[in-house]
Structures are given as structure tokens and as C-alpha cells.
């Protein structure tokens, strides 16, 4: 089997400065599990995969909520932490030193 027989064209990629959330959306809409990451000169600098994003999620403490009068309220510091994760750039979560063929 050759790579050209299983690869997807055209190649979808994200820039290292794109938001990680943008990479997630591209993967979800195109039913793929990873994307090459390029710099401003369209040179390959890494890859971002579902695994990279899942591992990142495991490194963050779980969201905890407090019940108050039957309502779920998320403490402010946890909301800020979640916003920080969602604001990460692709370069913050990608795998570098990609082996290519």
C-alpha cells in the first residue's frame, strides 16, 4: 500500500498561531483525527491530533460545580481556567519534530 492510496486530498492544515479550538472544529467537520501544522511560510512545524487535545484535557483539573439552591454554579476561577484552555494556540498543544514520508 502506498501513502497516496490512503491520504486525504487536498491536505487540510492549520497554522501554529491558530486557536486549538479551530483545529478541533476542522477535525470534527472533516471526520479526521489530525492536522499538519505550518508556520507563516507554509513550512511543516508540527502536527496536532485528537490525542494531543485529549492529553491536554487530562492535565487540567476536572470542572467542579457547586450546588446552591438547586442551581449549578461554576466558581469564577474555574471559568477563567476553562477560557484559558480554549484560548490556547495550536503551537501550545501540537507535537513537534514530526517524522514525514
The pLDDT tens digits for 23-72 are 888 988 898 889 999 999 999 999 999 888 776 655 545 554 444 444 55
Quick one: how far is CA 79 from the chain centroid?
19
Span 6-20, mean pLDDT?
Answer: 90
- Structural contact between residues 16 and 37, judged by C-beta atoms closer than 8 angstroms: yes
Which DSSP category does 69 fall into?
A: T
Cis peptide before 10 (omega within 30 of 0): yes
**Model pTM?**
0.69
Amino acid at each position: 500500500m502506498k501513502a497516496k492510496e490512503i491520504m486525504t486530498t487536498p491536505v487540510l492544515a492549520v497554522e501554529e498561531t491558530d486557536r486549538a479550538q479551530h483545529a478541533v472544529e476542522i477535525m470534527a467537520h472533516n471526520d479526521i483525527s489530525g492536522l499538519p501544522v505550518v508556520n507563516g511560510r507554509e513550512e511543516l512545524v508540527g502536527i496536532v491530533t485528537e490525542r494531543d487535545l485529549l492529553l491536554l484535557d487530562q492535565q487540567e483539573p476536572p470542572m467542579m460545580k457547586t450546588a446552591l439552591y438547586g442551581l449549578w454554579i461554576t466558581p469564577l476561577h474555574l471559568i477563567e481556567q476553562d477560557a484559558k484552555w480554549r484560548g490556547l494556540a495550536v503551537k501550545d498543544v501540537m507535537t513537534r519534530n514530526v517524522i514525514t514520508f
